[in-house]
């Protein structure tokens, strides 16, 4: 079956005809909230000079990733629920797959860069200015986008060339479940997938855990001010990492056990993957990061008081 000439049906929705407008309102509301929350964080960091530090720049780029990811997913969801048939072309599905996993890998690498920044700031404060220069930050930001995109692009191109035996995807967007549509996937793709997973997920997570162990050891042995700094700047990153890792686990579970999961469970897990991280990351950073929260209060609460 030539993949390029067929539409893939999205079979992950529950009673679209019955709940069409509920889906529409929920998806549109979530998308607008994600845009507003992340744009607020980006604009605050852009406007205020005291936030022009590597830590906040990395947070801003996490928000950029959230906007890009949501824009690759939500407009299509909104169009689908208003349509009589929920379908996607093979090319569009592979593009969504590429964007989704490239940005997911980018998030892990951004969190690694943030953990390195916190490590230097807390454990080697005298070397911070020399280490975290503008050139270093620029190099990190280039790598966190180019490396995952390049690795996932190879997998996407080779997957797209395979013969398809099914045209019904048990999901609402194109993720790893698309591999179940192909008749046979070559061993190379399995090996490459493990290579990509190791480089953009496992190694960054191990690196993050290692750096935070070092940070907490130094903080524990230091004065109260260092402990306070570690708690204020590191705990939000850990909360985001734990949440994101759990959601990546959901993605793997959906792909491996899709036939064993009920339609309701599969839909809820799929939605969490594209709701939790893009929506709650800016909220976590906005509330837990002292300097960002200070500017948010000035932006919203002070204006309300004046009015």
| Span 111-170, pLDDT tens digits | 999 999 989 988 888 888 888 999 999 999 999 999 999 999 999 999 888 888 888 888
pLDDT at site 305 = 46
- Where b means 16+ CB within 10 Å and e means fewer, 178-202 reads bbbbbeeeeeebeebbeebbebbbe
pLDDT, the chain, mean: 84
Among 12-26, 154-168, 210-224, the range scoring the smallest mean pLDDT is 210-224
The closest of 255, 217, 50 to 119, measured between CA atoms, is: 217
| pLDDT at residue 4 tops 60 | no
The span from the CA of 118 to the CA of 124, in Å, is: 9
Domain count of the chain? 1
Q: Which domain holds residue 266?
A: 3-306
The closest of 284, 279, 295 to 232, measured between CA atoms, is: 284
Distance (Å) of CA 305 to CA 32, 44, 106, 298 = 25, 20, 40, 10
Tally the C-alpha atoms within 13 A of residue 233's C-alpha that lie toward its C-beta. 26
Whether 82 contacts 24, CB under 8 Å: yes
Residue 165: exposed, middle, or buried by beta-carbon count in 10 A (0-12, 13-18, 19+)?
Answer: exposed
The span from the CA of 4 to the CA of 161, in Å, is: 9
The segment with the largest mean pLDDT, out of 3-7, 36-40, 229-233, is 36-40
Could you read off the pLDDT of 56-83 as tens digits, one per residue? 899 999 999 999 999 999 999 999 999 8
**Sequence-separated (6 or more) residues with CB below 8 Å from residue 257:** none
Planar angle of CA 132, 133, 135, nearest 5 degrees: 120
**Sequence-separated (6 or more) residues with CB below 8 Å from residue 43:** none
Q: Domain with 261 in it: what CATH number?
A: 1.20.1070.10
Beta-bridged to residue 88, according to DSSP, are 8
**Sequence-separated (6 or more) residues with CB below 8 Å from residue 141:** 57, 58, 61, 113
Q: Which residue has the tokens 């549509």?
A: 181
């Amino acid at each position: 079956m030539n993949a390029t000439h067929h539409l893939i049906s999205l079979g992950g929705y529950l009673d679209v005809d019955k709940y069409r407008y509920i889906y529409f309102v929920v998806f549109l509301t979530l998308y607008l909230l994600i845009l507003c929350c992340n744009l607020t964080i980006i604009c605050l960091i852009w406007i205020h000079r005291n936030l022009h530090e590597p830590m906040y720049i990395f947070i801003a780029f996490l928000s950029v990733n959230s906007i890009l990811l949501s824009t690759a997913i939500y407009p299509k969801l909104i169009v689908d629920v208003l349509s009589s048939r929920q379908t996607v072309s093979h090319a569009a599905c592979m593009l969504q797959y590429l964007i989704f996993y490239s940005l997911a890998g980018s998030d892990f690498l951004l969190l690694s860069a943030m953990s390195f920044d916190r490590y230097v700031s807390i454990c080697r404060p005298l070397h911070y200015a020399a280490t975290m220069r503008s050139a270093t930050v620029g190099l990190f930001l280039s790598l966190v986008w180019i490396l995952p995109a390049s690795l996932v692009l190879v997998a996407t191109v080779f997957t797209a060339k395979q013969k398809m035996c099914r045209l019904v995807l048990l999901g609402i967007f194109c993720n790893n479940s698309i591999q179940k549509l192909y008749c046979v996937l070559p061993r190379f793709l399995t090996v490459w997938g493990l290579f990509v997973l190791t480089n953009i997920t496992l190694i960054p997570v191990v690196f993050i855990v290692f750096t935070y162990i070092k940070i907490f050891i130094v903080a524990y042995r230091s004065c109260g001010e260092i402990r306070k700094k570690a708690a204020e700047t590191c705990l939000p990153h850990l909360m985001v990492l734990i949440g994101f890792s759990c959601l990546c686990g959901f993605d793997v579970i959906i792909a491996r056990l899709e036939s064993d999961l009920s339609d309701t469970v599969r839909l809820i897990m799929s939605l969490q993957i594209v709701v939790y991280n893009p929506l709650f990351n800016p909220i976590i950073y906005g509330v837990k990061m002292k300097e960002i929260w200070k500017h948010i209060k000035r932006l919203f609460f002070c204006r309300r008081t004046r009015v």
